């Protein structure tokens, strides 16, 4: 009799300790999820402000489309962010009472200093990317990769990976590719390869995108 | 659909080097160093540790003065097609990291430095010693860093590098072609740095499959041959010489064997396959 009751109490202890372990596992899981999804990205990325804030929307309204400032040079290369000379064409003297424009003229135009823009889509130095191949060769739109920049009223913050020094836009804002990202899709190698495989039937050879 | 065609037209970019014209000046090597950010060491006389993507070799006919003759052989990466012309080149087939692959559209063998982990199997496999290993991180004098070519990434310690036929120049030429709505890159739009630097125009470069390109005709000349042809690696770098002793130096021939015969016999062997 006594051995039977001993067994019963032992199995009851085992059952309750199973619950305790499960609860602790759950607490640990939730804690690591919060750390991984919320705390770690905050720790990994430092946030920077662009040197001058401006509205893409206003510029598009005035100038028509993206190509007014981001254009192809005659040799097929892409200009990227406009240089000070291009900005000077319009902003040599104040056009509006905007304090950002005031700051731009005082700090950069009058001192003849290039604006150190932070490039959201700056690729690592081993990557070759041809705007001509995508925009001219296969008629892609700017929004497909860069998101709807043209309708933004101010420049969003730039997030820099503290370890690699690259922009967060490369790694992306979500671990899982769920839905359309607000700032355009991720730009990791596999993302490029997936699209190339879909559109051209091949991921391409190494030298197509590497240098 | 014209855009798709752009991706399907196959080319075989190659080089023909006229050894009778080469004076051994080394301008090709200097141009290559500058174009491709090839680092140099403090002691460049130590050829075991020297990095160069194209190297000028000196051979002589072994005879005493006054019969001595000298020939210079510039040697870039041969961009081998492999035995069956399918891109199975010696280095590509041994790379465990897929850091080097054969581009079927241009026939150029790539080297991806960020993918390479430095096992150096490819260096052991390459019969032409075209590949070089970075034993140290490259160091340039401070002012020189401003002169680095932004189109070519610099390499780090522990990776292998080699000649790319200045692939970045091909990319640039293609950019221009895209902008102008062209499918093809003109012959003179894509020329590697060594070809442009050669003062005697000993090096010719172009598409070996395109009858309009100079290399097409030159590579089929009777004077044309390739290094270590018996290995059947099918290099895309051809050499030309009218000197018999130079031909003999470019492969391991037995005493009474004639280089011309070997080439023909290997060709007939292939045809019988």
Q: Does A23 touch chain B (CB under 8 A)?
A: no
Q: Does A198 touch chain B (CB under 8 A)?
A: no
Q: Phi and psi for B223 in degrees, rounded to 5? A: -80, -10
β B13-18/B237-240 pair status: parallel
* Cβ contacts of B114 on chain A, cutoff 8 Å: 124, 126, 210
* Cβ contacts of A124 on chain B, cutoff 8 Å: 114
Name the maximum alpha-carbon separation found in chain B: 65
Q: Phi and psi for A64 in degrees, rounded to 5? A: 105, -75
* Cβ contacts of A200 on chain B, cutoff 8 Å: 4, 7
Give the C-alpha separation, B77 to B66, whole Å.
34
The predicted complex's ipTM stands at 0.82
Nearest Cα neighbor of B223 from B206, B209, B202 is: B202
Residue B57: alpha-carbon gap to chain centroid = 14
- Name the residue in chain B with its Cα closest to that of A205: B103
**Residue linked to tokens 């391409």:** A204
Give the C-alpha separation, A131 to A137, whole Å.
9
The alpha-carbon gap from B184 to the nearest alpha carbon of chain A, in Å, equals 12
The total of structural domains in chain B comes to 1
- Name the DSSP class of A127: B
> With a CB-CB cutoff of 8 Å, which residues 79-118 of chain B face chain A?
98-106, 108, 110, 112-115
Express each pLDDT in B76-95 by its tens digit. 999 999 998 888 999 999 99
Q: Does B45 touch chain A (CB under 8 A)?
A: no
Q: Does B146 touch chain A (CB under 8 A)?
A: no
Give the C-alpha separation, B73 to B90, whole Å.
22
- Terminal-residue alpha carbon distance, chain B: 38
* Cβ contacts of B153 on chain A, cutoff 8 Å: 125-126, 211
Which of A11-15, B67-71, B166-170, B238-242 is predicted least confidently? A11-15
Express each pLDDT in A26-82 by its tens digit. 999 999 999 888 888 889 999 999 999 989 999 999 998 899 999 999 999 999 999
* Residue A138, SS3 per DSSP: coil
Give the C-alpha separation, A141 to B19, whole Å.
50
**Residue linked to tokens 């913050």:** A157
- Name the residue in chain B with its Cα closest to that of A207: B110
Q: Does B187 touch chain A (CB under 8 A)?
A: no
- Name the residue in chain A with its Cα closest to that of B104: A205
Global confidence as pTM: 0.86
Residue B44 is part of a domain; what is its CATH number? 3.30.70.20
Tokens of residue B245, six digits: 């002793």
Give the C-alpha separation, B237 to B208, whole Å.
10
Q: Does A72 touch chain B (CB under 8 A)?
A: yes
The alpha-carbon gap from B80 to the nearest alpha carbon of chain A, in Å, equals 16
- Name the residue in chain B with its Cα closest to that of A131: B175
Reported in sequence order, the residue ranges of chain B that DSSP labels E, i.e. its strands, are 13-18, 55-60, 70-75, 132-133, 160-161, 203-207, 224-225, 237-240
The answer on pLDDT for B101 being more than 60 is: yes
Using pLDDT thresholds of 50, 70 and 90, give the confidence band for residue B161.
very high
Q: Domain span at residue B136? A: 2-272
Tokens of residue B10, six digits: 């196959």
Give the C-alpha separation, A202 to B101, whole Å.
14
The answer on pLDDT for B173 being more than 90 is: yes
Express each pLDDT in A155-176 by its tens digit. 988 999 999 999 988 888 776 6
Query: Where along chain A do its domains lie?
Result: 2-46, 119-209
Query: Angle at CA A189, nearest 5°, toward A204 and A205?
Result: 15
Express each pLDDT in B192-229 by its tens digit. 999 999 999 999 999 999 999 999 999 999 999 999 98
The answer on pLDDT for B98 being more than 90 is: yes
**Neighbour tally for B131: CB within 10 Å:** 20
Give the C-alpha separation, A68 to A66, whole Å.
5
Give the C-alpha separation, A134 to A204, whole Å.
14
* Cβ contacts of B110 on chain A, cutoff 8 Å: 205-207, 210
Do B47 and B41 meet the contact criterion of CB atoms below 8 Å apart?
A: no
Q: Phi and psi for B75 in degrees, rounded to 5? A: -130, 95
Task: Choose, out of B4, B172, B178, the residue to mutate when testing the contact with A (most A CBs < 10 Å).
Answer: B178
């Amino acid at each position: 009799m006594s051995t039977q009751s001993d067994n019963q109490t032992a199995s009851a202890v085992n059952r309750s300790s199973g619950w305790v372990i499960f609860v602790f596992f759950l607490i640990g899981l939730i804690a690591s999820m919060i750390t991984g999804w919320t705390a770690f990205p905050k720790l990994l990325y430092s946030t920077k402000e662009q040197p001058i804030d401006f509205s893409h929307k206003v510029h598009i309204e005035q100038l028509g489309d993206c190509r007014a400032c981001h254009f192809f040079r005659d040799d097929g290369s892409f200009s990227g962010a406009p240089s000070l000379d291009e900005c000077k064409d319009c902003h040599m003297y104040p056009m509006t009472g905007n304090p950002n424009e005031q700051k731009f003229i005082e700090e950069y135009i009058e001192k003849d200093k290039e604006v150190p823009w932070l490039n959201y889509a700056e690729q690592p130095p081993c990557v070759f990317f041809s705007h001509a191949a995508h925009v001219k060769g296969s008629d892609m739109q700017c929004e497909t990769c860069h998101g709807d920049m043209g309708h933004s009223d101010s420049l969003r913050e730039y997030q820099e990976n503290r370890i690699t020094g690259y922009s967060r836009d490369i790694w992306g804002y979500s671990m899982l590719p769920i839905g359309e990202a607000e700032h355009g899709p991720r730009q990791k190698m596999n993302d490029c390869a997936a699209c190339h495989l879909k559109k051209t039937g091949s991921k391409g050879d190494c030298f197509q995108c590497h240098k | 659909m014209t855009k798709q065609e752009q991706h399907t037209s196959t080319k075989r970019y190659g080089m023909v080097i006229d050894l009778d014209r080469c004076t051994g000046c080394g301008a090709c090597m200097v141009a290559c160093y500058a174009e491709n950010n090839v680092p140099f060491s403090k002691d460049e006389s130590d050829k075991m540790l020297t990095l160069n993507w194209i190297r000028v070799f000196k051979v002589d006919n072994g005879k005493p003065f006054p019969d001595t003759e000298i020939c210079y052989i510039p040697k870039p990466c041969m961009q081998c097609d492999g035995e069956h012309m399918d891109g199975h080149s010696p280095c590509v087939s041994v790379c465990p990291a897929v850091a080097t692959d054969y581009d079927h559209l241009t026939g150029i063998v790539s080297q991806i430095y960020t993918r390479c982990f430095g096992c150096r199997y490819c260096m052991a496999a390459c019969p032409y010693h075209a590949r070089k290993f970075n034993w140290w991180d490259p160091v340039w004098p401070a002012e020189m860093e401003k002169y680095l070519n932004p189109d070519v990434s610099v390499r780090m310690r522990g990776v292998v590098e080699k000649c790319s036929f200045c692939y970045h120049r091909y990319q640039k030429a293609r950019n221009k072609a895209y902008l102008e709505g062209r499918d093809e890159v003109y012959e003179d739009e894509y020329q590697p740095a060594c070809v442009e630097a050669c003062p005697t125009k000993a090096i010719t470069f172009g598409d070996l499959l395109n009858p309009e390109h100079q290399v097409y005709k030159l590579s089929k000349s009777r004077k044309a041959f390739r290094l270590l042809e018996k290995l059947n690696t099918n290099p895309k770098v051809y050499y030309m010489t009218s000197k018999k002793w130079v031909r003999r130096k470019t492969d391991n021939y037995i005493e009474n064997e004639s280089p011309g015969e070997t080439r023909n016999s290997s060709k007939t062997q292939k045809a019988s396959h």
